C-alpha cells in the first residue's frame, strides 16, 4: 500500500542514514496544504544523539510552506506504556512541534495531534485522511 501511494505521489519514504549507515525511517502522506508524518523511527541504538531532531528539521524544510503534523498515542490515558508515550511527546515538543489539542480515535486507538504550522481541527484532520489517504481509513477515525 505504501509503494502504491508512493507511485501516485501521495507518500514519500525517507531513509535516515548517518555515514552511510541506515539509522531510521520516515514515511509521509502528502496533501496539497498539509503533510502527515505517518511513521517516524530512529533505531534505539542511535537515539539521544540528535539524529531524530535533525531528521525532523530536514523533513520540516522539505515540506516548507505546508503544515506538518503527526499522531502520537495518547499521554492522557492510563497505560503500561505511559512513560514511553510521555518521553516521545517531550521529544517532539523539544523539536518544535506543538500540541494541536485535538484528540482522536484512530482505528480504536486514542491519539493526540502535534505539528508545525497552523493547528488543524478534527474536521480538517478527518478530511485530510479522506482526501489524501482513502475513504476506508477516514471511516475509522472518530473525535476523541
107: pLDDT confidence band, cut at 50, 70 and 90?
Answer: very high
**Residue 17: CA count within 13 A, CB half-sphere:** 7
| Sheet strands (E) in the chain | 11-18, 21-30, 34-42, 67-73, 98-106, 109-115, 141-143
Query: By C-alpha distance, which of 37, 31, 1 is closest to 128?
Result: 31
pLDDT for res 85? 95
Domain edges within the chain? 2-143
CA distances from 50 to 18, 25, 34, 54, 92 (A): 11, 15, 25, 6, 12
pLDDT digits (tens, 9 = 90+) for 54-106: 999 999 999 999 999 999 999 998 889 999 999 999 999 999 999 999 999 99
pLDDT for res 5? 78
Q: Domain 2-143 classified CATH 3.40.250.10?
A: no
pLDDT for res 8? 79
C-alpha cell at 98: 506543538
Q: Are 74 and 103 in contact (CB under 8 A)?
A: yes
3: pLDDT confidence band, cut at 50, 70 and 90?
Answer: confident
CB atoms within 10 A of CB 51: 17
Amino acid at each position: 500500500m505504501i509503494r502504491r501511494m508512493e507511485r501516485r505521489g501521495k507518500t514519500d519514504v525517507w531513509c535516515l542514514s548517518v555515514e552511510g549507515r541506515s539509522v531510521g525511517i520516515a514515511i509521509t502522506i502528502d496533501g496539497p496544504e498539509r503533510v502527515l508524518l505517518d511513521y517516524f523511527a530512529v533505531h534505539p541504538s542511535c537515539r539521544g544523539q540528535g539524529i531524530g531532531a535533525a531528521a525532523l528539521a530536514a523533513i520540516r524544510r522539505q515540506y516548507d510552506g505546508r503544515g506538518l503534523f503527526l499522531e502520537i498515542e495518547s499521554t492522557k490515558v492510563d497505560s503500561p506504556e505511559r512513560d514511553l508515550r510521555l518521553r516521545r511527546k517531550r521529544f517532539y515538543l523539544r523539536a518544535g512541534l506543538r500540541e494541536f489539542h485535538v484528540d482522536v480515535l484512530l482505528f480504536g486507538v486514542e491519539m493526540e495531534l502535534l505539528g508545525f504550522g497552523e493547528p488543524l481541527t478534527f474536521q480538517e484532520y478527518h478530511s485530510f485522511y479522506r482526501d489524501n489517504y482513502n475513504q476506508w481509513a477516514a471511516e475509522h477515525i472518530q473525535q476523541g
